Amino acid sequence: MSKPVVLITGANGEIGRSLLKRLHTDGRYRVVTVDLTPLPESYRGFCLETYAGNIMDRYLLDQIAAHHEIEVVFHLAALLSTRGERDPDLAHQVNVEGTLHLLRMAQNQSGRLGRAVRFLFPSSIAVYGLPNVEEKKKAGRVVEEEWCVPITMYGCNKLYCEHLGRYFTNHFRQLGALSDVSRLDFRALRFPGLISAETVPTGGTSDFGPEMIHAAAQKLPYSCFVGPEAQIPFMTMNDATRSLLMLLEAKKEALTSTVYNVSGFSVSAQQIADRVRMAFPDAKIDWKLDEVRARIVDSWPEDIDDGRARRDWGWKPTFEFERAFDEYLLPTIRQRYA
């Protein structure tokens, strides 16, 4: 039997590239990708086929579905939170309408195959919205149902798409008595800020973490756009892609929800700066507040409770703060800019 086919949208983004490498090493799937920009040559070898195109192009998605028996979708394409505030209309189009196109495609595919296509969706800490720092401190680690009142377009988009995914999985065409086997199987992870040793994010608001580390490694000065006290959870890219695959492989019967928090470690911007200075004593870091972006970070919880993921499918991050630096970030980053 040939290996099942996985479709990755936004494959050329940060999560996409890391996931491509992991799937290649893993070797159990054949991978088809779509992204606005063509994948670099070095990643193309990991794929059965790559498409350069827009997820808003329904004709392209139909064509991809007609050519491949897609059993799993990782829908990673999105505009992140800062970029989304600069162009909310476009964010809505890509993040919501684009996701709807993919859900529809996966739904049709499930009907065609007669079994549920698994649809993996990276949601975000941005679905939460705390009204002020005082409440944020009081709230501490939040569970999935708390504080779902986002203040960004991106957060609204992700929260709504979680609902869409749950709807497609449990209720789609309920009046038409669509049989359960032909409904898709949607699974979402709410990621904290992600830090990769290999790539730098663009257009996000948790970007101050990775930017600070990558700037220091390149001996570049860095002005941090949030204050030293700003605190949110982060996770290494390594753990992020590992959690995606763990959730993909989890038995449906074990899942009590379609949405799961996952977290690595919760740290302040000051703690990141201190740790970066320890690794790169010449690092030049100062603080230059961007009030709007700082306000967005303040609206995100100090930490998220990932107990549900731990209980249902055995989630546990590999790296806490110190080990993330010592064993993952620093060795790879040093090598990268050497």
**What residue ranges bind ligand SER (CB under 6 A)?**
80-81, 124-126, 154, 191, 193, 204-206
Query: Are 272 and 213 a contacting pair, CB within 8 Å?
Result: yes
Complex with ligand SER: residue 74 or 191, whichever CB lies closer:
191
Q: Which residues pair with 232 in a beta bridge?
A: 267
* Strand residues in 101-184 grouped as ranges (E): 118-124, 141-142
CB of 201 to ligand SER, least distance (A): 6
CB of 44 to ligand SER, least distance (A): 26
CB of 120 to ligand SER, least distance (A): 15
- H or E element in which residue 215 lies: helix 208-217
Complex with ligand SER: residue 215 or 237, whichever CB lies closer:
237
CB of 252 to ligand SER, least distance (A): 26
Complex with ligand SER: residue 215 or 235, whichever CB lies closer:
235
- H or E element in which residue 187 lies: strand 185-191
Complex with ligand SER: residue 109 or 204, whichever CB lies closer:
204
Distance CA(123)–CA(159), nearest Å, equals 7
Distance CA(97)–CA(178), nearest Å, equals 23
Distance CA(105)–CA(62), nearest Å, equals 7
Complex with ligand SER: residue 61 or 126, whichever CB lies closer:
126
CB of 125 to ligand SER, least distance (A): 6
Position 188, amino acid:
A
Nearest residue to ligand SER on Cβ basis = 204
